[in-house]
Amino acid sequence: MKTTTFFVLSLLLVASLPCFGLNYIITFTGTGASSSVDSVIVQNLTKGISVTVPAGNVLNLSDVPTAIDPLSANDETIRVYPASVGGKSIVSFFSKQAGSTQLNAFSLDGRKVAGISTDLQAGSNTFELTLPKGVYVIQVTGKEYAYTAKVLNQTGTQGKSGIAYAGTEKPASSSPQKSKSSTLGTTTMAYTAGDQLLYTSVSGNYSTIVTDVPTGSKTTNFNFAACTDADGNNYTVVTIGTQTWMAENLKTTQYNDATAIPLVTDNTDWANLTTPGYCWYNDSTTYKDTYGALYNWYTVNTGKLVPKGWHVPTDAEWTTLTDYVTANLGTSLNVAKALAAATTDWTTYSATGTVGCNLTLNNSTGFSALPGGNCSGSGGTFNGVGYNGYWWSSTEGNTFYAWYRIMVYDYSTVDRGYASKQSGFSVRCVRDSQ
């Protein structure tokens, strides 16, 4: 009688699994310069976690950290053989492509009880599951395939749970339990309603950022745009309002006509320079890839510093950006936090609302501003990396000064000012009107 009761209750619990918790399915598409999506790095800015979704996979957002993927098709390409006298269950499934495969077993409360990650060849593969008595959900995720199956163990082992590869032969006895499969692989991320997500998508040399707070299953599109400098560096871009910006600082050493930009390494030479030049904050090895180069305004004014199809923003275009962000934030955050990268590169600070306070609240726009510091125009000395970021505009103030924007770790604003044209500041670019 106890066994019969357990069996009925287990079936009822298994039948209710698809309704267990929040489950949103996010699919990805590409338009613009590319229609394909190679991969998507998904950052949950609220939780401070990230996953990478490979080509051919969908993203499953769930409020259960070890969420079970929903079923979505009807073909029978996975079989589960319940535990026999030996106490081991058998799982057999078809790998559509060779590559890394993850196989996990979850209890009905969403707890992962066993798992394995291994490289498999295309074809039929079999695994042995050592599990205690009970009902489990088996999840298989590989390259361009994902399967979910349920297994009821009426016998089981008392030792440690585990999963082991058993080869390609199917068991000769026991009737298999059949299950459904999905044609796309699934990557799962913990998600609570209201979490802020940042997607960085890559397609060949193109990369673009989209931010979102999903409220249900949906398709997210990436509008890819070419942004490549004369050195061959490819930049991630982000669309904010009507503008498309680089989401990284410029780091080219050549103009877009392939002529070299003068590299100035001597402090005195930099302080006396009234012609184009650039420098690295102390050294290129440490700072180039993260913060980019520092350029004086004479370099900006050549009109050929940036990738073709892009330009250094005017003072008015910077204002368009900050006005748009301010108007679309509501009252919960400020423009500085919305633009500043949500990373550890900013120095932390305790005052609420400042860039450095609770970095997980930063970067709701995807602009990803970083504190690259500056090189003084008066003495050629370096200041502020990790603490502040300065970005040139293309707008001249007068013979000696030009307009710029600044963000500081202990500020809650994006400030506007003008500085000596000899100063070394970072450069962001905005896309030409299409």
Tell me 280's DSSP state: -
pLDDT of residue 147: 79
Instruction: Report residue 281 as tokens.
Output: 């904050």
Among 372, 366, 339, 374, which Cα is nearest to 355's?
Answer: 339
Instruction: Report residue 70 as tokens.
Output: 């929903």
The answer to whether 180 and 148 are in contact (CB under 8 A) is yes
Q: Specify the fold of 73-183.
A: Immunoglobulin-like (2.60.40)
pLDDT of residue 129: 85
Beta carbons within 8 Å of 320's beta carbon, 6+ residues apart: 241, 242, 243
Looking up tokens 């940036």, which residue turns up? 306
pLDDT of residue 95: 81
The answer to whether 374 and 315 are in contact (CB under 8 A) is no
pLDDT of residue 28: 93
Cβ-count burial of 325 within 10 angstroms (0-12 exposed, 13-18 middle, 19+ buried)? buried
The answer to whether 387 and 396 are in contact (CB under 8 A) is no
**Residue 401: which H helix or E strand, with range?**
strand 401-408
pLDDT of residue 181: 42
pLDDT of residue 18: 41
CB atoms near residue 34 (< 10 Å): 20
Instruction: Report residue 121 as tokens.
Output: 């060849």
Looking up tokens 């490289």, which residue turns up? 119
Q: Decide: pTM greater than 0.75.
A: no
Written as tens digits, the pLDDT of the chain (434 aa) is: 444 433 333 433 344 444 345 778 899 999 999 999 999 999 999 888 899 999 888 898 988 644 444 333 334 477 777 665 456 778 888 887 788 888 888 776 667 788 888 888 888 888 888 888 777 778 888 877 777 777 777 665 566 788 888 876 544 444 555 444 444 578 889 999 999 999 999 999 999 999 999 998 899 999 999 999 999 999 999 999 999 999 999 999 999 999 999 999 998 999 899 999 999 998 888 899 999 999 999 999 999 999 999 999 999 999 999 999 998 875 446 899 999 998 779 999 999 999 999 998 899 999 999 999 999 988 789 999 999 999 999 999 999 999 999 999 999 999 999 999 999 999 999 999 87
Among 187, 92, 182, 97, which Cα is nearest to 143's?
Answer: 97
pLDDT of residue 221: 95
Looking up tokens 């980019």, which residue turns up? 292
- Between the alpha carbon of residue 46 and those of residues 21, 28, 194, 210, 363, the distances in Å are 19, 21, 9, 15, 11
pLDDT of residue 64: 61
Report the C-alpha gap between 246 and 236 in whole angstroms: 6
- Between the alpha carbon of residue 290 and those of residues 205, 281, 306, 344, 373, the distances in Å are 18, 11, 18, 12, 12
pLDDT of residue 159: 66
Looking up tokens 């301010």, which residue turns up? 326
Looking up tokens 């709701």, which residue turns up? 364
Count Cα neighbours of 138 within 13 Å in the Cβ-side half-sphere: 32
Parallel, antiparallel or unpaired: strands 374-375 and 78-81: unpaired
Among 197, 259, 257, which Cα is nearest to 24's?
Answer: 197
**Residue 8: which H helix or E strand, with range?**
helix 2-15
Report the C-alpha gap between 278 and 299 in whole angstroms: 8
**Residue 327: which H helix or E strand, with range?**
helix 315-327
Domain ranges of the chain: 73-183, 231-431
**Residue 299: which H helix or E strand, with range?**
helix 297-300
Report the C-alpha gap between 96 and 185 in whole angstroms: 11
Report the C-alpha gap between 243 and 369 in whole angstroms: 16
Report the C-alpha gap between 187 and 54 in whole angstroms: 8
Among 34, 65, 61, 32, which Cα is nearest to 218's?
Answer: 61
Tell me the three state secondary structure of residue 67. Answer: coil
Q: Which amino acid is present at 371?
A: P
- Between the alpha carbon of residue 166 and those of residues 121, 122, 127, 241, the distances in Å are 13, 15, 5, 54
Strand-pair partners of 149 = 138
CB atoms near residue 293 (< 10 Å): 25
